[in-house]
Each structure stands twice: as C-alpha cells, then as structure tokens.
Amino acid sequence: MNQVTKPENTQHYSSFIMDSSRWQNFEPRADDIVICTPPKCGTTWMQMICALLIFQKITFDRPLSEYSPWLDMLIQPIDDVLNQLQSQTNRRFIKTHTPLDGLPYYDDLTYLCVARDPRDAFLSMQAHQRNINPEIMQKIVANISAPITPPAPQPEDLGERFRNWISASGKPGDANDAISSSVINYVQTFWQYRHLPNIHFFHYADLQSDLSSEMTRAANLLNIDIDPDHLPELVAAASFASMKGNADNIAPDAENGIWNNNAGFFNSGSSGQWQDVLSEEDIAVYHQQMATRLPPELAHWLEFGGKLPQAS
C-alpha cells in the first residue's frame, strides 16, 4: 500500500475547458460533498441523487448546476463560482473532474467517486462533444488564467481515437489526453485511498441495475435519513427518463447555453454500445491497458461494478 496514508495535491490538471488550480481559494465546510468523476461516468446522475437526498423534494427553484457547480470548469470566473458556493445555506455538493492527486483533501469532507466501463465512457463522450455549442468556447477562453495550447485535432477514425484515449496516461502534459482525464488514471488516484472513511465508490452499472439500493446506500454514507415511503418518488425523479425530460434544468450548465440540444446531453444512458463499434484491435489495446495499469480487482470492478474489494 502507498506509504502516504492521506491524499496529497501533487498535480496540476489543466486543459482548454478546466483548470484544477481553481480549487486554490476554495473554503470548505465540514459537511461538503465532492462529486468526483471522470467525464461521462455518471456525474450529473450523482449530482441529481445528492440534490434529491439533501432537499428531499423532486422539484427545485434553480437549475442543478447552480446548486452544484463544476468548480474546475472555465465557463465562469472562479470568483463568481466561489461566491455562489459561499452564499449557499444548504449542504453543498460540488462537481469536479479533477483526479484526487490534483484536489485539496480534507478529513471532514465526503468524496464520492463515480466510475464507469471506460469503453462506455468513451462512446458517450463522442456524442457529448458533438452536442457542444461551439460559441461557448468564447466564454471559456475569457476565463483562462494561463496560456493553454488548444487540443490537437482528433483522428477521424473512431478506433484510433479510442486507442489514443485509452492509452493516455491521464497525467498533466499528455498530448493524447487534452479533452478529458483518463478513466484509468482517475479511478486509480482514489483507489489507493479507499481505506479512508470519507472516500466512497459508486459505479454506473450499479446505478443502472438497482438505483433504489444505491440511493439508499448514498443516503446512509451521507448520514441523511430518508422516509422509506418517500424513497420511491425520489428514485423515480433520478431515473434517466425523468432527468432527460427535465433536461433544461438538469443538464449541466444548460442555463449558459452550452448545448446545442439540452435533452441531447442525456444521450442514451445505456451500456455496452461499444460492442457494435470497437474492433478486435481496439478491445485488445483496452485489455492490455487495463491489465498493465490496474490491479486485477480494480480492473474487474471498473468494468463490471458490484461490491468493491476492501483495502488490505
């Protein structure tokens, strides 16, 4: 096991859309929740679950992103985001796509790491990128505090894009990883600290297969009491169909005009589409990366979900 028993902020993650240094002046509160995910792995789903559990109602006065901002994203000036969080009187739940080695760590915060089969995350990202409003980049550029090289054009061939992406280290400076953090690297930064009582793991596949049980588990981990008679209504509000039907309020930063189609953010919510798209060569590279970069138990959990092996 890593001799360092608690996470340390040793990396600076930055790209054309996010910068982990925006956490520098964050002022934590003892019961804050940090929702930590690689892109397209269930971020908005967990934000919605937290909103439902915290407020215990199914309709909200403001868009979800105003309750739970993506602190790293460059779409708003960081002072505006921090002031927005400072003004909140509810229990706060904050979104990040920064791996744990790029985040500040606090003993009294709760970190929820949500993961997904990397192949599904990759395909979901392809639809995600097609749905981004190109005009939003002007807002992002205005909030960049240091020179950043725009990402290189991606290969036209989907398989080549996937092989480059799955092979990327996920660490700062990797040219293959300019758009999003590697799922492999991301989850691994949390995995080595799974012995800590405030770091918890959820998997997209488990949210799909038994949303009620996973929401109940989340409530227990967050020390939130839920009336069993009220739970089915909350679970229904967290369903894929319900969130897609309310996309104008739930899709991240929809109020900022980031999407060509807000409902399109919720593409399909399904798993396994990679089977009809990725080649044998692509899958071979995937298995090679999983086998060489992850311990077997983590590789299995990352692909399938289920009960997480305990730290030794």
Active site residues: 97
Place of tokens 């909350």: 234
Print burial letters for 18-40: b (CB count within 10 Å at least 16), e (below 16): bbbebbeebebeeebbbbbbbbb
Interatomic CA distance for residues 244 and 311, integer angstroms: 37
Contacting residues for 33 by C-beta, under 8 A, at least 6 apart: 50, 91, 92, 93, 94, 109, 110, 112, 222
Q: Which two tokens stand for residue 86?
A: 């400072």
